[in-house]
Amino acid sequence: MSHRPDLANAIRALAMDAVQKANSGHPGMPMGMADIAEVLWNDYLSHDPNDPNWFNRDRFVVSNGHGSMLLYALLHLTGYDLSIDDLKNFRQLHSKTPGHPELGLTPGVETTTGPLGQGLGNAVGMAIAERVLAAQFNRENFPLVDHHTYVFVGDGCLMEGISHEACSLAGVLGLGKLIVLYDDNSISIDGEVHDWFGDDTPARFESYGWEVVRNVNGHDAAEVATALDTARASADKPTLICCKTIIGFGSPNKQGKESSHGAPLGADEIALARETLKWPHEPFHIPNEIRASWDARVAGAERSTRWKALFKDYALAHPELAGEFMRRTEGRLPENWAEIAGEALSTLAANDAPVATRKASQNVLNIIAPKLPEMLGGSADLTGSNLTLWKGAEPSGAGNAAGNYLYYGVREFGMAAAMNGIALHGGLIPFGGTFLVFSDYARNAVRMAALMKLRSIFVFTHDSIGLGEDGPTHQAVEHVSSLRLIPNMETWRPADAYETALAWRAAIERTDGPAVLALSRQNLPPQRHDDGHIEGVLRGGYVLHEPDTAPQALIIATGSEVSLAMDAVRKLAAEGKAVRVVSMPCAERFLRQDASYRESVLPKDLKARLAVEAGVTLYWRGFVGDAGEVMGVDSFGESAPALAVFEHFGLTVDGVVAAVERLLG
C-alpha cells in the first residue's frame, strides 16, 4: 500500500486540477481535509462502490458542500461510477460533478448539500432513521441495521443556527452512531473567523450531551484514527471530533488563507504545490499503485455480500419481518393500501359535522398510521395544536428507540432538515408539523426536499387569517402562495375532511417529491361529494358545484374559502345567477393535468371568474385573467377572533356575491 500522504495527495491534486480547469470552485477544503478523508474512507467507512445504494452502508455527508471535489475525488478513487473525464467536467452543464453535491446525479452522493449546516441536519435525520429501524427490525444475532453516519462540517456549518437546532436534538436523543468531523481551519470566505466566530465549540457540543474529542491534528493519520476509535466506542452519545487543519494544505503561498477558499489556485501556484507535496504527476493523472491502494470495490463487495448472507438467514428465521423490511426499504406501500386509504376517506366523509382540517388530519392519521409502520411523525413543539399525534403513537427517544413519534422541540428548521435525512435514509416516511407561518423558519429545508425529490410531508396548520387572535405575527398570508412557487412542491389546502383524507393519500403515494398540507384552525363545514370527486381532488382541482343551467361565472376557491364560495353561490342562485364552484386543493397538481381536463374545469370562454383565498392575491391573477377578480389579503393580518378578521378584510358571503355581480355587470 502507498504511504498515506501519497493517498491524501491524490485527493489534493484532483481537487486543485478540477477547480483550475473549471476556473471555478473551492480547492481549500478538499486540500485541508484530505488526510482526514483518507483515514476515514480507507480504514473505517463501510460501503460498496459496486452497489452505492446497499442499505446497510455507512452514510457519509459533506455538509460543507462547497468542498465537493473532495467527495468526487473519493468516489472516483474508490471505484464508483465516476470517471476521470467526469472530474475534468467539474461544474459544467449536465455533468455528474456539479458545483455542490446533488442527490441523483452522482453515484455515492447521499444528500444535496451546499446551504451550510443542512447536511449536518440531514445526517441527524439519517442517524435517527438508523436507530429507529435497528430497534424495529434487529433481532438476536441479526444486526440487520447497523451502520454509522459520518459528517464533514466546517466553521460555516457550525455558525449556522441549524447546527444548534439539529445537534442539540441529537444529543438529547443519544445518537451514538453519529460522528461529526469538524474542519477547524479558522477560515471562511471573509477571512480569519476569530472576529465573528468566537464560540467555545467543544464546550458547546459537550453541553448538548455529545462526546467531544478535542485538538486532533487533522494532518496526522494516527491522531485521526485514534479519535475515530474513540467516537465509535461511544454507544449512547454522538461525537464531535475537532480536527485542526490548514485550509489549502500544500499550497505554499495560499494555504491557511482565504485566498484558497473559493477560487482556483492558479497555474503557477499549482506548480509550486506539486513540488511542495512531492506530486510530480501531470494534471488528472493518478499512478497505478495509488489507484490500487484506493480501490475499494473488492472490499466493498465482500462487505455487502456478508450482509446479504446475513439477511438471507434473517429471512429464514424471521420471514414476516424480512418481507416487511424489504417492502419498507424499497418504498412500497402495503398491498392493502387502497383499502386503508378508502377506509379513511369513507370514515371522514360519513361525518357531517363541521371540523377543522387540522382535526380531520388527525382523524386520518388515527386510521392510516397504525397500518403504516413506516410513518415517523413529529412536531416542532406544537403537537397539541398541529394534531400530528395519533392514537397508539409511541414517542421515539433515548428510552424508546423503536417509537414512531418525535418531539422535535422548537426547532422548525432542524426538524425539516432531519425529516429530509430520514427520507434520504429510507425505510421510513417522515412527517412533521408546525404553524404555517413558521414554515419561514423551515423554508430552505422544505425547498431542499423539493430539489431532492424526497417523500417528506410537512403538516402546516393554522393556515391563514383564520388563526384569529394571535394576530399578524402568526397569521399566514403570503405563505401558501410562496410554497406553491417552489418547483416540484405540492401544496395542499383542503376544504373539508373529505379533501384532507385525499390530500394525505396523495402525499403518501407520491414518491418523487414532498407535500405540504396547509390546514385550518377553525371548523369547516363538509361539502357534498360524490365518487367522481375522488379523481378530481387527486387531480388538484375539480368542479365541486355545477348549476342547473350553463354557468355564467365561476368561483375558484381553496381551503376555508370553499365554504364561503358555496354559501355565496346559493345566494346568487336565488337571484337567478348560475355560478360554477371550482375547488382547487392543489394548484400545482392541477396545472400539470392535460389541457383537456383543465379546459373542462376552467373553460376559456367563461371569462367571469373570481378567485377567493385568504392570502395574497397575485398567485391567482393567472387563473382569472384580465376580466376576472381576486379576493384575498394583500396586507398583514389583524388580531381579533377569526370571523371578525374575515369581515375586516371583506372575505364574507356578501363580499363574494358582490364581486360576482360586478363580473356579470
Catalytic site residues? 412
Bridge partner list, 191:
188
Query: 3-state SS of 561-593?
Result: HHHHHHHHHHHHHHCCCCEEEEECCCHHHHHCC
Give residue for cell 452502508: 57
How many other CB atoms are found less than 10 A from the CB of residue 290? Answer: 20
Q: How far is CA 258 from CA 29, 186, 242, 539, 620, in A?
A: 11, 10, 20, 51, 47
Which residues fall within 8 angstroms of residue 316, CB to CB, at 6 or more apart? none
Bridge partner list, 457:
431, 515
Q: What is the dihedral of CA 108, 111, 112, 117, to 10 degrees?
A: -130
DSSP code per residue over 274-342:
HHHHT--PPTT---HHHHHHH--HHHHHHHHHHHHHHHHHHHHH-HHHHHHHHHHHTTPPPTTHHHHHH
CA dist., res. 16 & res. 202, Å (int)? 31
Degrees to nearest 5, angle at CA 287 with 281 and 292: 155
Continuous segment of H or E residues that includes residue 530: none
Give residue for cell 461529526: 180
CA dist., res. 398 & res. 657, Å (int)? 56
Q: How far is CA 427 from CA 65, 332, 373, 646, in A?
A: 25, 9, 10, 43
CA 579 to chain centre: 41
Amino acid at 229: D
Identify whether the C-beta of residue 286 lies closer than 8 Å to the C-beta of residue 79.
Answer: no
CA dist., res. 418 & res. 445, Å (int)? 9
With b for 16 or more beta-carbon neighbours within 10 A and e for fewer, the 97-108 pattern comes to bbbbbbbeebeb
